[in-house]
Amino acid sequence: MPGRLLRRPLFWLALASAALAVGCVRLNVHRAPTATAVTPATVRIATYNTSLYDNTSGGLIRRLEVGDENARSIAAVLQRVRPDIVRLNEFDYDEQQRAAELFQRRYLEVAQPGGGEALRYPYRFLAPVNTGVPSGLDLDRSGSVGGDGRTLGDDAWGYGLHPGQYGMLVLSQYPIDLRDVRTFQLLRWSALPGARQPIDPATGEPWYAPQTWSQLRLSSKSHWDVPIRTPNGRLHLLAAHPTPPVFDGPEDRNGARNFDEIRLWKEYLDPGPAPWLCDDTGRCGGLPADASFVIAGDYNADPDDGDGVRGAIAQLLAHPRVIDEPIPRSAGAVERAAERRIERHGDVATHTGDFGTSSGTLRLDYVLPSSDLRVQDAGVFWPPSTSRDAAIAKASDHHLVWLDVQWPASNTR
């Protein structure tokens, strides 16, 4: 992996502010470059599904307080790759930011076995998500609202056993423009023009009753546009984690939702007015045509294989404002795919996770830059089993995906 800037910041808490029920923390930082520092025009951006969630409210906080081995391995991976901006998936949200603070201070800021030097992020962003939030509706058509055990989450706006489960977190070395962050947690699915309303194949009628369909939220977690002030200019991090296109029935309601959650970013990037596309503050419309951006997250959609609706992720991969070359690859994915022996149509070297003997390896995690950026390098932190790094890569069934991007000289500002 290319040499990275090792940061030995001296930092302290300087600001804690909230808006839109979101959290962003700013800390003062001093950076000491080394002889292996990358050019200042290069920014490393990553996404990582950490699987740092718990089935009980506050459970992740309690685990991080006493010491969590998976969290140590996740921190070790981040210390090795050292992204400047990283989007973490499946990191439980809590309003007081206790889990995020614990992970920062007790894990990232402590050199981990198998990792690198301590890693400090002076800025973070997190906000409420739909997972685990009761809808008060019978979304699974079981005849009752709510349930016990695993069925408790079936009637939440997004599947989860408590509010905030499977949340999202953005960590950054650069300032976040909190005032300009846009979140789309509350956007109704039916607001999307031509929404793929699930159909009950037994009756040919819509799966959801009209009064339910009119209230359903599109995003299973949330969709965030997080503007970040990099040394080269403003970058919009477009973060989402669409629902897996499984765990439903022949109506394929999760497959339809996954497709349309991905489509939301397509509509956000398309030119022209979008008066229906309104964020949680009521501001409507898409992303300006001259904005630089990176789409990052676990999108639960493989371009060639898996159970998703065909063409779901192609809505982004083929978008004229997006580039998908070079595609991040790893030796570990090739090794694991060979072990699984499941026929694949796509390039297994690009796969980002392993989902067991029945599902095998798939490409589900993406870092997709806008076409005005230049990709200098890319990879998936998935070492082969013979590597000394293999042990720290086992904490999650997904693997960290990273890109090094540069702005053309005429675009830096």
333 within domain boundaries:
yes
In a domain? residue 355: yes
Does residue 146 form part of some domain? no
The pLDDT of residue 27: 34
Spans of the chain, pLDDT less than 70:
1-40, 409-413
299-334 pLDDT tens trace = 999 999 999 999 999 999 999 999 999 999 999 999
Specify if 287 maps to a domain.
yes
Q: Does residue 319 belong to any structural domain of this protein?
A: yes
CA dist 262 and 335 (Å) reads: 29
In whole angstroms, give the CA distance from residue 90 to residue 257.
18
Q: What is the 3-state secondary structure (H, E, C) of the chain?
A: CCCCCCCCCCCCEEEEECCCCCEEEEECCCCCCCCCCCCCCEEEEEEEEEEECCCCCCHHHHHHHHCCHHHHHHHHHHHHHCCCEEEEEEECCCCCCHHHHHHHHHHHCCCCCCCCCCCCCCEEEECCCCECCECCCCCCCCCCCCCCHHHHHHHECECCCCCCCCCEEEEECCCECHHHCEECCCCEHHHCCCCCCCEECCCCEECCCHHHHCCCECCCCCEEEEEEEECCEEEEEEEECCCCCCCCCCCCHHHHHHHHHHHHHHHHHCCCCCCCCECCCCCECCCCCCCEEEEEEECCCCCCCCCCCCCCCHHHHCCCCECCCCCCCCHHHHHHHHHHCCCCCCCHHHCCEECHHHHCEECCEEEEEECCCEEEEEEECCCCCCCCCCHHHHCCCECCEEEEEECCHHHCC
Tell me if 400 sits within 8 A of 81, measured CB to CB. yes
**Structural domain containing residue 68:** 13-129+164-411
pLDDT computed for residue 150 by the predictor: 83
Backbone angles phi, psi at 89, to 5 degrees: -100, 155
List the CATH number of the domain containing 359.
Answer: 3.60.10.10
Contacts of 33 (CB under 8 A, 6+ apart): 5
Asked if omega into 326 is within 30° of 0 (cis), the reply is yes
What does the pLDDT look like over 375-401, one tens digit per residue?
999 999 999 999 999 999 999 999 999
DSSP β-ladder status, 199-200 and 205-206: antiparallel
Domain count, the chain: 1
Q: What angle do CA 379, 54, 85 make, to 5 degrees?
A: 30
- With respect to residue 139, please indicate whether it lies within any of the assigned structural domains: no
Q: Is residue 136 part of a domain?
A: no
- The whole-angstrom separation of Cα 413 and Cα 411 is 6
**149 falls within a domain:** no
The residue to which tokens 């947690």 are assigned: 185
Pick from 119, 126, 120, 117: nearest CA to 93: 126
The Cα 70–Cα 25 span in angstroms is: 24
For residue 408, the model assigns a pLDDT of 80
